[in-house]
Chain A
């Protein structure tokens, strides 16, 4: 297994290099550049030339690429072109909230999806099955920002059960250590901040979770039905095990594989940021950073964000494949 893992991770630099290279050229291929994005405020051609020189934008493309690769290899992530902020600092600000949101949404959708999916499978084609599926599928059939804005209107504006947006009540005083709020507030014992953070987390994670829950439910149900008809489950049933036991012990174990694939991919995607959800809930995640970076053609921010996203994908996929081995030892042979 260790050899497999090493063989797998050897590819990481290659994937990162390809993605950053593709991004490098894509950014320069689309219209607009960082200078044009700020030139509404800066109009003096002499000044523009000076900035271009400072950012190496006046150099030929291949030289720009060489400089870029050199900086990458020396681990110099540089500063944001639009704000002058060190990229490392921006990642410190954006990555933890992204992970928090992704994690909570994933846990929520996995648990809810599997529970509903199993319930639907064992009550197949009865009213309860249809009702559960209707619920799950409706959630995922709505466009993302529709779900998000509806949650805001119902729970935040009308019922006032949760705040509309943000990550924490800014009025509170709190300390930032790791920027993972759960960890920080637990470490400092700041109960008020912790509660406020959790309160702010509810709606955005629900918004993502509702969509994913539908997927997990359907996949679980489909896989469970398949497994419930497989010979070994029929054997188990023949041995007198009750339906619930069969469902949970045997069928679920195998049914969980496609769920892991799906959620692994989904988690990887969420680590890259949920642009729409972050925009609606003013959540300071990576997706917004990437979007704003792309819109203002802030090359250095986009490049850095893309590396983080690629890392997240590759590591999540590796983890998913690792989990395969754990859940299904049969695969070990291949």
Chain B
């Protein structure tokens, strides 16, 4: 592969160039931008998990006298409208927003694949029925769904996950189906079917591994969507319970302060953006690693 022009980067991965560089460099070469992404993400995850130990103050502690204080040494990210410490809230708020985002994503991913793969694989009437169901789901207004969930089941993180996750199922279903359709016309699948391999085996051996790269890269991108949707629900008052430290909620509540105390929405917004960014970086790196052609070259 040393003959490649290097445009696809496979050159750096060729065996004879690997003359035991520094570990970090080697990691970078293998994982590319996924590395800083993973480091930052690990950092955020750790901070969120250890929030109760690191946070200098109780995130719910209101202190009206010290409301809307600008960032200082005492309050690194300032204080909000009722004098709560934004830094402590940001630390605590990651858990809620990331939990919601990932779980909603997992929900839509699993159900989406469970609907999309059979549809694409067996096709025919099953496919038609499944896809029309997806049309129905997509057309149902997600705000109404959220109101329905919140007013019947109450506000709370679990219900935000349902409201957001269900709304994204059709997206994954359609994506999975289109990828399966493509794979079905690949020689190895056609050959396996001709040789009489059982359907579950084909799905497990040929379809799933090959559909993962495009679906995973999309899934990491969809995290931005699930988090944004959850944030938008907060924006509309259908999100987590008021007072819960949650980045989405903090941005939604703080957006009217953008001209007057920008630090209130800014820090949670920054953390949210950087976190989603790092997940997308990981997704990109993962894609490169999972790419069957790339895998063949480096492995």
Contact = CB atoms under 8 A, between A and B. Distances in A.
Interface string B271-294: 011101100110110011001011
B258 A153 contact: yes
A130 B147 contact: no
B8 A124 contact: yes
Interface residues of B, number: 66
B195 to A, nearest CB: 19
A290 B232 CA distance: 15
Interface stretch (A50-58, A136-144, A164-172): A136-144
Contact of A310 (B139, B178, B251): B139
A11 B280 contact: no
B239 to A, nearest CB: 12
Given A276-B232, A302-B144, A19 B139 contact: yes
Contact of A225 (B33, B128, B182, B288): B288
B63 interface: no
Contacts of B213: 222, 226
A276 B144 contact: no
Residue of A141, A258, A310, A333 with highest tally of chain B CB at under 10 A: A141
A324 to B, nearest CB: 8
A216 B212 CA distance: 18
B171 to A, nearest CB: 6
B12 interface: yes
Contacts of A324: 178
Given A143-B228, A222-B214, A317 B277 contact: no
Nearest to B230: A143
A218 B9 contact: no
Contact of B147 (A30, A141, A275): A30
A15 B293 contact: no
Contact of B221 (A18, A214, A265, A269): A214
Nearest to B29: A125
Contacts of B232: 143-145, 275-276
A294 to B, nearest CB: 6
A314 B143 contact: no
Contact of B281 (A14, A22, A137, A262): A137
A334 interface: yes
A23 B227 CA distance: 25
B228 A144 contact: yes
B123 interface: yes
B8 A225 contact: yes
Contacts of B135: 11, 15, 310, 313-314, 317
A330 B184 CA distance: 11
Interface in A1-31: 7, 11, 14-15, 18-19, 22-23, 26-27, 29-31
Interface string A290-310: 110010000000100110011
B185 A334 contact: yes
B112 interface: no
Contact of B171 (A223, A265, A272, A310): A265
Given A30-B151, A143-B231, A258-B178, A22 B138 contact: no
Given A124-B8, A228-B8, A276-B235, A137 B140 contact: no
8 contacts: A22-B136, A22-B140, A125-B12, A140-B224, A221-B284, A225-B287, A226-B293, A262-B175
**Which 6 A-B pairs give the minimum distances between C-beta atoms?**
A310-B139, A229-B293, A125-B9, A141-B276, A141-B277, A124-B9
Given A26-B145, A143-B251, 10 more contacts: A122-B8, A130-B33, A143-B272, A211-B228, A218-B280, A218-B283, A222-B214, A262-B175, A262-B218, A275-B232
